[in-house]
Amino acid sequence: MSILPRLPCGWKYAAGLKQQTLQNEYETELPQQHSLHGVDVAVIAYREGNDDILLRHTQEADRVSVVHLTWTKRTELANFPRVEFTGSADEFIRWEFDIYGVGLDDD
């Protein structure tokens, strides 16, 4: 079960081939100097119509990050892929509302 039983509007859970594709691109882009390098994470969701992914920190029970992929299919520079947010699952929901004005999806 996900640490987020419901996602903000516009986000979809990643599973199967979609999740693997997003995870592979994230790992390809991540340079050694990146702030998330060496941090165990797993893609759990993606934002539709955008290149943002939601990562669950596997060693921290309630920590997630939003990362904006570049889709260059190569290792990026130190500040890319860009980390948009890191915090708890509840903080992520509040951040989404504050930044994008969206609430939880009713699906």
Output the tens digit of pLDDT for each of the chain's 107 residues.
467 788 999 999 999 999 999 999 999 999 999 999 999 999 999 999 899 999 999 999 899 999 999 999 999 988 899 999 999 999 999 999 998 887 777 65
Which pair of tokens denotes residue 78?
């130190």
What's the confidence (pLDDT) of residue 1?
42
What is the reported pLDDT for 11? 95
The answer to whether residue 104 sits within a structural domain is no
- Residues 37 and 12: their CA atoms lie apart, in Å, by 25
Q: Which domain holds residue 30?
A: 11-97
Flag whether 83 is in a domain.
yes
Count CB atoms within 10 A of the CB of residue 15: 11
Q: Is residue 5 part of a domain?
A: no
| pLDDT given at position 104 | 79
Q: Does the residue 19 lie in any domain?
A: yes
The DSSP H or E segment spanning 86 is: strand 82-87
What is the three-class DSSP state of 60? coil
Q: How many CB atoms lie within 10 A of CB 69?
A: 20
- The number of domains in the chain is 1
The reply to whether 72 falls in a domain is: yes
State residue 61's pLDDT score: 86
pLDDT at site 107: 52
82 within a domain of the structure (yes/no): yes
In a domain, 75, yes or no: yes
* Residue 105 domain-assigned (yes or no): no
